[in-house]
A and B are shown apart, each in its own frame.
Chain A
Amino acid sequence: MTALDKSVQEAAVEHEDLEHADNDKTPLGHGRMLRKEDPRFIRGMGRYVDDLQLNGMLHLAILRSPVAHANIVSIDVSAAQAHPKVKAVITGADLAAQGLAWMPTLSNDVQAVLATDRVRFQGQEVAFVVAEDRYSARDALELIDVEYDVLPPVVDVRKALAPDAEVIRTDLEGKKDNHCFDWETGDKDATEAVFAKADVVVKQDIVYPRVHPAPMETCGCVADYERVSGQLTLWTTSQAPHAHRTVYALVSGLPEHKIRVIAPDIGGGFGNKVPIYPGYVCAIVASLVIGKPVKWMEDRTENLVSTGFARDYVMQGEIAATKEGKILAIRTHVLADHGAFNGTAAPIKYPAGFFGVFTGSYDLEAAYCSMTAVYTNKAPGGVAYACSFRITEAVYLVERIVDCLAYELEMDPVELRKKNFIQPDQFPYTTKTGWVYDSGDYERAMDVALEMAGYDDLRREQEEKRAKGELMGIGVAFFTEAVGAGPRKDMDILGLGMADGSELRVHPTGKAVLRVSCMSQGQGHETTFAQIVAEEIGIPVADIQVVNGDTDQTPFGLGTYGSRSTPVSGAAAALVARKVRDKAQIIASGMLEVSVADLEWQKGSFQVKGDPGRSVTIQDIAMRAHGAGDLPEGIEGGLEAQICYNPSNLTYPFGAYICVVDIDPGTAEVKVRRFVAVDDCGTRINPMIIEGQVHGGLTDGIGMALMEMISFDEDGNCIAGSLMDYLIPTALETPHWETGHTVTPSPHHPIGAKGVGESATVGSPPAIVNAVVDALKPYGIRHADMPLTPSRVWDAMQGHPTPPI
């Protein structure tokens, strides 16, 4: 059996197993295992922020700007204040008097908590009401009278820097235009030289429209300030409780040790719950002022129009190649729409996130990117929706333009990709933009995907269908991600290094508690992290409790986003377990009266080498560590440890995706018939959970490629403010996902795991768009922009594909 056959067989076996997932038979570590979280969720006993009821709790609602750009002339809150159930009405002027009207964003910009002088996007926070119940709070919003002097909005990103464009950020001293930042990477001159000598140059404008993570649970919090103790507790929808605590301390002036941030169960995050939103700060202020707990839960419209969006990149791509299909260089210029405030949540030295991996999975001679980011009258944000810090945009650009090259060369897209893959013996591979890919075997993953899809048969079927006038498309995409931010020498958010803490305590009876700094929003950390520890220390998974999401109970760390939980916190969990095991080995040596070197680890116990009859279990050791009697010299009692893991490099998961679509020639509706996803995320801890992560990301891909877009009219009105307008895939648009995998461990991660949370969101949009464009080949279409709704596909079929913005 060849390696490929074996991979395909493994993938098939995995698929079979998933049909009847059940517990792994050896619950001492990695493997398929049902989730610890689920018994509470299936009983409706999850505990989300809005489920919290505290004595005397009040409700907060926010008045938002109805227009995109305007000066505030006056605000009259008297009628609202007179409402019998209203406890407080607060405006920007009130906050300004306390120095709280502005807060830092995660990108070192500032954002208005409540607008003072001017509103800069539709939906911006203008005032808030605190009332006895949520209905009364909303009623009172209607009683606030705001007079606006409307200004021309900057909506079209291409016109943001026009000389006559209204300046949005008048709050920034000396600001005379809407320029946000410039950024470049790669070697401009070297790239130009390579382009000059190339046989073929293909240029393509590519738009990645603004989309929104839209988790099923919107954002919200309960702030509870106790005046006597000076303690603030904030239950909140946060993917990064520790980072949030620090920011709240800086904004509010409360000492950090008096702030406790608790993220309870989170109803999906996808990056939407990384930023700090004005609503959280409003609730904190309200509780400080009133001295009672205050709940704020935004509604769906507020979520869609005001919280962290994603993408919004207008890209000009260029690719240079030989006529035989050897890719030489890629060059791009990006116009980035950052909205009214730069609220991007990315490592501070990376204003464009990790877009620098736009060189993809290919061995190039040169690459260059320049970027201009601008302010517009739209909601702030930019990095969200499982985007891996802009890798989604980068992968879409490269995988789309490689397909454009294939189109021009009349070459099969698989053949073109294979011809240019970075080869296994080239790893670690330094890209022309300076990223050091850790490990990979790209061709193998591609071959597994081709086998699973039956690629050659699909092409034959397509040929037959084309002859009959039917529209069938086959899309191929290959991605490499950079996740697990990150080495703290390079990566921080607001000065906080992106390392993660982990603490493990083994109790006397051998049961354990692991405390981690990252925070699950549905990824199953309580299970996966227990498995990581179980694998290292041999305590059954069921005996390990994972605590996360509470800053008073967990060590410091930067949170869960950018697929960093397993690469960073997962590494911390493995290493803290090894640290405990090392101590256990010393205690075992005392118990067995042999030297440490004479012991060998059998998962769950230390045994004297060559004498299997003499061993002690980890549970025996735990009791001894806490019990009466002597311990080896210099060893303290207890069996626990804490570490902070600072990754030496990012990890680089990859995958090969193949999508098959059928397009109705009469209605231009796209149906995703099949989708084959082969992922390589290194060591696989719980294949069932990995599979679930991949499925979810693939569905995001269908959403973005075919349906989702946060769009605006010319006045800056957001016209995707409900789930009737912002369409999310249902079970009917979604195919039965077909998944497979290869395993190429990361060489520097303690257990070789690479992270997988965003892989499919990154990899699936280009596969789907490539499939649609492939289906439209008979119409002479080389490119069409997302979202490929029936009307937009229809336009393409009529010969005029238009960009969505």
Chain B
Amino acid sequence: MQVTMTVNGESVTREVEGRMLLVHFLRDELGLTGTHWGCDTSNCGTCVTWMDGEPVKSCTVLAAMAGGREVRTVEGLEKDGVLDPVQEGFMRCHGLQCGFCTPGMMLTARALLDRNPHPTEQEIREAISGQICRCTGYTTIVRSILWAAEHPDGPTPAAAEPETAGSAS
């Protein structure tokens, strides 16, 4: 069947099997491999993307169900070369280690901050409780999201460089 959807602002059309999962559509058909697959049962949340502004677990959404919808993935968080404050927060507060759960965590965080710009720690924990991180123990993820809440416009110019040990000195 033919399916058309908007992914990160661009319209895409593909011929797919009716049973194809959104996560496989994004990864295998569009090459957007930032969305990960981890469990099949909606428990781990590494596959979280947005559909019409709401986080969904793309391992339990058919690509066909996303037809006519707006899908946003981790690749759509950075805008015109400017990182989303959530991305900045995760980098600055060591909110990730292996990076596998990170895209889903960040998309959930962005959705939370969009509807609740000043969440408490407990609200953050509840928001990400449908997702699993095996590396960080969550404290630094909570910190990362709090950082993003405190810096809705991103880092102050003075703190913008250098970002990581990998940037030019």
Residues in A with CB closer than 8 Å to B20 are 135
Alpha-carbon distance A266/B36, docked complex (angstroms): 12
Give the 8 A-B CB pairs with smallest separation, nearest first: A44-B34, A522-B98, A41-B99, A267-B100, A695-B137, A44-B74, A36-B166, A723-B43
Contact flags A272-311 to B (C-beta < 8 A → 1, else 0)? 0000000000000000000000000001110000000000
Chain A interface mostly: loop
Report the minimum CB–CB distance from A684 to chain B (whole Å): 15
Taking a contact as CB atoms closer than 8 A, the residue among B27, B98, B126 that contacts A521 in the complex is: B98
Alpha-carbon distance A698/B92, docked complex (angstroms): 22
Taking a contact as CB atoms closer than 8 A, the residue among A135, A521, A731 that contacts B142 in the complex is: A731
Residues in A with CB closer than 8 Å to B100 are 46, 48, 215-217, 267-268, 522
Report the minimum CB–CB distance from B3 to chain A (whole Å): 16
Taking a contact as CB atoms closer than 8 A, the residue among B41, B73, B97 that contacts A44 in the complex is: B73
Residues in B with CB closer than 8 Å to A521 are 98
Q: A734 touching B137 by the CB < 8 A rule?
A: yes
Judged by a CB distance under 8 angstroms, whether B52 is at the interface is no
Alpha-carbon distance A349/B33, docked complex (angstroms): 42
Q: A33 touching B98 by the CB < 8 A rule?
A: no
Taking a contact as CB atoms closer than 8 A, the residue among B98, B143, B166 that contacts A267 in the complex is: B98
Judged by a CB distance under 8 angstroms, whether B87 is at the interface is yes
Report the minimum CB–CB distance from B71 to chain A (whole Å): 14
Closest residue of chain B to A541, judged by CB?
A: B165
Q: B99 touching A265 by the CB < 8 A rule?
A: yes
Judged by a CB distance under 8 angstroms, whether A736 is at the interface is yes
Judged by a CB distance under 8 angstroms, whether B32 is at the interface is yes
> Which of A20-28, A177-185, A549-557 has 4 or more CB atoms under 8 Å from chain B?
A20-28
Taking a contact as CB atoms closer than 8 A, the residue among B91, B132, B169 that contacts A42 in the complex is: B91
Contact flags B92-130 to A (C-beta < 8 A → 1, else 0)? 111011111111001000000000000001001110111
Closest residue of chain B to A689, judged by CB?
A: B94
Report the minimum CB–CB distance from B166 to chain A (whole Å): 4
Judged by a CB distance under 8 angstroms, whether A34 is at the interface is yes
Judged by a CB distance under 8 angstroms, whether A71 is at the interface is no
Known pairs A38-B99, A722-B40 / 12 extra A-B pairs, C-beta < 8 Å: A23-B163, A35-B91, A35-B164, A44-B73, A44-B74, A46-B34, A215-B98, A217-B98, A268-B134, A526-B166, A541-B165, A692-B137
Chain B interface mostly: loop
Q: Show the binding face of B for A, using Cβ within 8 Å.
A: 17, 19-20, 24, 27-28, 31-41, 43-44, 46, 73-75, 77-78, 83, 87, 90-94, 96-103, 106, 121, 124-126, 128-143, 147, 159, 162-169
Contact flags A521-551 to B (C-beta < 8 A → 1, else 0)? 1111011001100000000111100000000
Q: A732 touching B164 by the CB < 8 A rule?
A: no
Judged by a CB distance under 8 angstroms, whether A374 is at the interface is no
Judged by a CB distance under 8 angstroms, whether A384 is at the interface is no
Report the minimum CB–CB distance from B139 to chain A (whole Å): 5
Q: A38 touching B41 by the CB < 8 A rule?
A: no
Q: B164 touching A737 by the CB < 8 A rule?
A: no
Residues in A with CB closer than 8 Å to B97 are 268, 522-524, 692, 696
Judged by a CB distance under 8 angstroms, whether A656 is at the interface is no
Q: A43 touching B167 by the CB < 8 A rule?
A: no
Alpha-carbon distance A218/B124, docked complex (angstroms): 27
Taking a contact as CB atoms closer than 8 A, the residue among A44, A542, A736 that contacts B32 in the complex is: A44
Given contact pairs A27-B169, A51-B33, A730-B129, A21 touches B94 in the complex (Cβ within 8 A): yes
